[in-house]
Structure 1
């Protein structure tokens, strides 16, 4: 892969769990070729503590992670995104801002680990599962030959990644 850095934005409604996990995973696993960001349509303003716990335990960066609005990335002074991925069904169904640069987009929905009830062990297990699904998708994405694949084929590959294990069917509740 070339020395080019690709900007990637992960979107979710609350920007507390899935999009945060994805940002941290790509920050570490794709640091040579990607800059990762996350945001939400209705950010809650805090990162879920189970997301931080799982990331720390698996040695992924948590510094600078914060729940923020997707409006930060729609401004003219924001980094131009090359890719925008929704990781929850609610965000995928919302009217997104117009992104400068017309990035490639795809829906990579997975279940909301923050919606899992039960014991702390059960909740943490849901975050570990979400982490694993996102890590697998990000690994497939970062292995794509971005410089040599045409836009139409790339779009199809990105959508295929979103249909991999753990994919939601569009019946998720608001988080």
Structure 2
């Protein structure tokens, strides 16, 4: 099973989703990429995931071009609101899904509010990807 998680910058939401899905099942190949990859991970995303015991600090922020020649079982876009444009994936994929989330790196206000947005989005990603794993991915692993 191979899953590619896409967003624009590949620094925050897609990285957290990548970390969660890989933590649910180590037998799944999970990668994440961006159409305009930033080249680095968001420090607050790393910290938010570390807070719950998932280390994504070793992940890399990669361009989607790196993955176009690979066959994927799932390609999942995680861009969120109206300010995000979801990337299109032109490679080989069996199933395309969209699970949108707000970008916490766009939050403004107090440090406490910004941090609370990272935690809120992290928890939303966890819940959505846990549901996806148990309802769609895990059942197909048994086939």
Please, what TM-score do these two structures have when normalized by structure 1? Answer: 0.72
Alignment pair present for 1:73 and 2:72: no
Across the two proteins, how many residue pairs are aligned to each other? Answer: 137
Query: Which residue number in structure 2 is paired with residue 169 of structure 1?
Result: none
Tell me which protein shows more strand as a share of its residues.
2
Alignment pair present for 1:99 and 2:94: no
Residue 26 of structure 1 aligns to a residue whose secondary structure is helix
Alignment match of 1:11 (pick from 6, 12, 22): 6
Query: Which residue number in structure 2 is paired with residue 138 of structure 1?
Result: 129
Residues 21-170 of structure 1 correspond to what in structure 2 (within 5 A)? 21-32=16-27, 34-74=28-68, 76=69, 78=70, 80-89=71-80, 90-92=84-86, 94=87, 96-100=88-92, 102-144=93-135, 145-146=139-140
> CA contact under 8 A between 1:26 and 1:35: conserved in structure 2?
no
Please, what TM-score do these two structures have when normalized by structure 2? Answer: 0.86
Question: RMSD between aligned alpha carbons?
Answer: 1.8
> CA contact under 8 A between 1:87 and 1:110: conserved in structure 2?
yes
> How big is the shift at 1:148?
7.6
> CA contact under 8 A between 2:33 and 2:64: conserved in structure 1?
yes
> CA contact under 8 A between 1:41 and 1:91: conserved in structure 2?
no
